[in-house]
Amino acid sequence: LLSQFDPDNTGYISTEKFRSLLQRHGSELDPHKLEVLLALADSNSEGRICYQDFVNLMSNKRSNSFRQAILQGNRRLCSKALLEETGLSLSQRLIRHVAYETLPREIDRKWYYDSYTCCPPPWFMITITIVAFFLYNGVVLDRFVLQVTHPSYLKNALLYHPQLRAQAWRYLTYIFMHAGIEHLGLNVVLQLLVGVPLEMVHGAARISFVYVAGVVAGSLAVSVADMTAPVVGSSGGVYALVSAHLANIVM
C-alpha cells in the first residue's frame, strides 16, 4: 500500500490520495478517529500528509499532528456531537462529562473520549483527598477532625505556623489538618469535583505540581500577612485547582 501511494518512499502522500483512502476505508474506522483524520487533511496547507503524523493519530499520541488537526476547530463536523450520542455505559458517560468540563472544542472532546483508557487513573487527587486527609486524623489521632479548641491542636507536628517556619515540612503537612468538619468537607468536595477531572485530562504530574504550588503559596502568604496565625487545611491547593479550571471556563 505504501509503495502504491508513495512510490518514491518519501514518507508523504498527497491530501487527495489521503482523502480517497478515507472515503474508501472510513467505514472501518471509529467515527471519532475519522473526524480527527479529516481535520488533519483539512488543516494541511502543503498538500501532503506525513505518514508519521498518520501513525501518531492512529496510535492515540497527542502529537504535533493532533495540534495541527484541532486548528480546524471551527470546521463543520460531519457527524453528530458527542453529547448527542446515546446508549453509553456509566463509565463512558463519565468520560464524556469530563471531556465537556475540561476541553473547549468538540474535536478535542471526541479525541479525548476516543483515546482515554483510565490508565493510569487519577490516583493523585484521590489519594491526597481520601487517604492523606483521613489517615492521620482518623488513625493516629483517633478522630477525623481535630477541633481548634482541642488542647493538642496547636501542639501537633503538622500545622504550619510562621514562628515554626524553620521546620520545613510544615509548609506542606498543614493540609492534613482541618479546623472542623465543615472545613474538611468543603475541601474534599472541591478537590474531587474539580481536581479529578483536571487530572484525568492533564495527568498527575501537572496537577500535582499545580496543587503543591498552591499549598506552598498559602503557607508563604500567611508568613507575610500574619506572623501570629497558624494555618491548617488544603484550601491553598483547592484555590490553585479552581484557578486552573478557570481557564476552561473562560475558553
**Domain 2-73: CATH superfamily, name plus number:** EF-hand (1.10.238.10)
Distant-in-sequence, close-in-space partners of 208: CB < 8 Å, separation ≥ 6: 124
pLDDT in tens, 216-244: 999 999 888 888 878 888 889 999 999 99
Strand partners, 12: 50
Distant-in-sequence, close-in-space partners of 60: CB < 8 Å, separation ≥ 6: 114, 115
Each domain of the chain, given as residue ranges in start order, spans 2-73, 79-118, 123-250
Give the C-alpha separation, 146 to 158, whole Å: 12
pLDDT band at 137 (very low <50, low <70, confident <90, very high): low
Distant-in-sequence, close-in-space partners of 106: CB < 8 Å, separation ≥ 6: 73, 77, 81, 82
- C-alpha cell read off for 215: 499549598
Give the C-alpha separation, 75 to 71, whole Å: 9
pLDDT > 60? residue 77: no
pLDDT band at 148 (very low <50, low <70, confident <90, very high): low
